[in-house]
Structure 1
């Protein structure tokens, strides 16, 4: 990555700081193999806060269009990516209860003195991409050509007339 943004995650959340900007797709090398072209950028907003239970949290919001390849028609698909993740900071995984792990409204992130924000954004983009990208409606390549397949019984009928 050509740039680096590092924060102290607990201090960022405690002080209710905010970080906003754009990250170029070119600066996310782990995503490159999934793209039809390495262009565009991800607009991000990272907000620190203290959650309802008094826990330090990071709210990460991402907005962009990701150029993927439709796996049905093989054409370009500009996939709209809109992510809003609540990341609760924990000192260690031992602090989590089974109830915490089953709560789908938030994810957990180890608290770090040097959290790489751009790597976090890249992780969230990868997690939000579809496993099999495809248009809502499209056809298979060559699907417009309708081939008429002759019934094997019609072939037999033709042989019996000869």
Structure 2
């Protein structure tokens, strides 16, 4: 296993020769993920293993570990979201091959052109994070939402004088 992630990968060829990689991905390099983050700080530990399984299916097995900072949609405070993802992709050339993949494999459609390694990793992270991130317990958000739940003092209505004219 090589201790450095390549910038680009060609999944078919790597599966044919059985290559494995391990490395670190800076969160600030995941551009499509950036709008969902409270902070771009941190790193993700990644392992990628290309192989051909016993059914002669080219595969990419991977693991992503780390933490990303999301915005809680209940209190708008930072939410630390731990990642420990395992994934298994079946590398295919066409949509028709999707039906041939056994259960447990997600399709990875390749065209023969090299893929950006960080894009493949980013796809898996985007699939793992919740569409509406919120803290697990209401008590974690309570401190942030206390100011919202306090009653607002009633102000004098500037149109109250019109009420008198109406009579």
Question: Shorter-normalised TM-score: what interval?
Answer: 0.7 to 0.9
Alignment of 1:139-154 (within 5 A): 139-140=141-142, 141-142=145-146
Counterpart position of 2:115? 115
Moved more, 50-59 or 135-144: 135-144
Displacement, 1:37?
1.1
Counterpart position of 1:57? 59
8 A contact 1:36–1:69 mirrored in 2: yes
8 A contact 1:25–1:41 mirrored in 2: yes
Distance 2:25 2:52 in 1: 26
Distance 2:53 2:146 in 1: 53
8 A contact 1:10–1:113 mirrored in 2: no
8 A contact 2:90–2:101 mirrored in 1: no
Displacement, 1:145?
5.8
Deviation string 1:107-142 (CA, Å, 9 cap, x unpaired) is 011233412211111111111111111111134511
Distance 2:39 2:98 in 1: 40
Distance 2:37 2:149 in 1: 29
Counterpart position of 1:8? 10
Displacement, 1:47?
0.4
Distance 1:50 1:116 in 2: 21
Distance 2:80 2:150 in 1: 28
1:75 maps onto 2:77 in alignment: yes
1:126 maps onto 2:130 in alignment: no
Unpaired runs of at least 5, structure 2: 152-167
Unpaired runs of at least 5, structure 1: 148-162
TM-score normalised by L of structure 1: 0.77
TM-score normalised by L of structure 2: 0.75
8 A contact 1:9–1:113 mirrored in 2: no
Distance 1:50 1:132 in 2: 37
